Each structure stands twice: as C-alpha cells, then as structure tokens.
C-alpha cells in the first residue's frame, strides 16, 4: 500500500516549457487535491476533484490545468511555465464519508528559470 505517490520528485523547467505532474493514490479515495507550498504562505489549493469525472478550481488555479484520469490518478499540467510557478507541489487525497482527513504525497519540487 503506497498511499499517495507523485512523480517526478524534482524538475527544472525553462520559462515557457510545459510539463505534467503525476499523482496516484491506491486507497480508493474519491477526492483528490493539488496544492502548492511557498515559504510563508502555507499550502494553497490549486485544483481539486471531489470525485471521478469532476474538477474544480481552488484558490490559485491560474496557469494550471488538471485531469482526473480515473479514480486513482489526478494530474496537474503547466502549459507554459513561469518563474512564479517555482514551488513545491503536493497532491493529496481523502476518503468519502466525512472523515475530511487528507493524505499527502511526498511532493514535487519545481524550479522554473
């Protein structure tokens, strides 16, 4: 049982390049989330998916797109990376039924030059 996995762990992009961050969970959770973490700002929600087939914007969605490929996988895409997207990205999932507890992946450290 791996929990929440993320790939890659590290990535360096040049401004304007695109990439997709992958996230998968094996806990049969319905809801999945993408956060970014910046110093002094805590975690801010980018997008979330309450269930398979649905996605919604969070607090800071600009410059990102997401795909809920199936119940297990939730990917985050940067179409044209900007230096302001340099951050650590975390994926999380939560179970149905009102437990609200979120389980986090190990993160992807992205640098955009």
Partner 1 sequence: AQSVTQPDIHITVSEGASLELRCNYSYGATPYLFWYVQSPGQGLQLLLKYFSGDTLVQGIKGFEAEFKRSQSSFNLRKPSVHWSDAAEYFCAVVDGGATNKLIFGTGTLLAVQP
Tell me how far apart the alpha carbons of residues 63 and 80 are, in angstroms, rounded to a whole number.
7
Of the residues 25, 34, 78, 107, which one makes contact with partner 1 according to CB under 8 A:
107
User: How, if at all, do strands 31-38 and 42-49 pair?
Assistant: antiparallel
Q: Residue 78: beta bridge partners?
A: 19, 64
Q: How far is the CB of 88 from partner 1 (least distance, A)?
A: 9
- Residue 63 lies near partner 1 (rule: CB under 8 A): no
Q: Measure the CA–CA gap between 96 and 98, rounded to whole angstroms.
A: 6
- Counting contacts by CB under 8 A, is residue 53 touching partner 1? no
Number of residues that bind partner 1 (CB under 8 A): 25
Q: Select from 48, 60, 66, 76 the one that contacts partner 1 (CB under 8 A).
A: 48
């Amino acid at each position: 049982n791996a929990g929440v996995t993320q790939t890659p762990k590290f990535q360096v992009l040049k401004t304007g390049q695109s990439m997709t961050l992958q996230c998968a969970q094996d806990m049969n959770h319905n809801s999945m989330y993408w956060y970014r973490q910046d110093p002094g700002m805590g975690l801010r929600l980018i997008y979330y998916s309450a269930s398979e087939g649905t996605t919604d914007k969070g607090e800071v969605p600009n410059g990102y797109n997401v795909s809920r490929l199936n119940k297990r996988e939730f990917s985050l895409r940067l179409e044209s990376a900007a230096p302001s997207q340099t951050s650590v990205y975390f994926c999380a999932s939560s179970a149905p039924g009102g437990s609200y507890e979120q389980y986090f992946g190990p993160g992807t450290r992205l640098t955009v030059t």
